[in-house]
Amino acid sequence: MMRPMKLAGSELMFGKDCLEYIKTIKCKKASIVIGGSSMVKSGILDKVRGLFAEIGAETQVVSGVEPDPSFATVMRGANEMKEFGNASIARHKVPRYFIFVNEFPMNAAGKILKYKMREEAVEKLGIKKTEGIVTQ
């Protein structure tokens, strides 16, 4: 039996052909986060990497993530993803800050309120509001 697979955000998929969904994702890079070695031993990790390769996406594996990760583990993963992104994107597009949240602000339709996220980030990071930072 296939274990559940969590995809970006709230999508949770499981079942016989759930990995085939990867072929419909449009991306250039993907970080695969795993806890232990069970995905490696069972061959699922190779299959997932192969499916991402079919759509032309470069993959990176972040392993050793515990079920309830410590701050150090989260920061290690954030740094690995930052390095992964630095390799091929413009310097000004690489994130300067990482803010970890339990949930995103959403409207009644379930869409993420990006302007609320920007406002909270400006407040938390102590960034002065300037004309360059648009919050709505």
pLDDT in tens, 28-65: 888 887 877 787 888 888 888 898 899 998 888 888 77
In which band, very low, low, confident or very high, does the pLDDT at 102 lie, cut at 50, 70 and 90?
Answer: confident
Give SS3 for 28.
Answer: coil
Average pLDDT across the chain, whole number: 76
Q: Residue 52's Cα: distance from chain center in Å?
A: 15
Q: What is the DSSP string of 55-106?
A: TT-EEEEE----SS--HHHHHHHHHHHHHHHHTTS-GGGS-S-----SS--B
Query: What domains, with CATH codes, occur in the chain?
Result: 5-93 (3.40.50.1970), 99-136 (no CATH)
Q: From CA 62, how far away is CA 64, in angstroms rounded? A: 7
pLDDT in tens, 14-36: 667 777 878 888 888 888 878 77
Q: From CA 67, how far away is CA 125, in angstroms rounded? A: 28
CB 121 within 8 A of CB 99: yes
The DSSP output letter for 63 is -
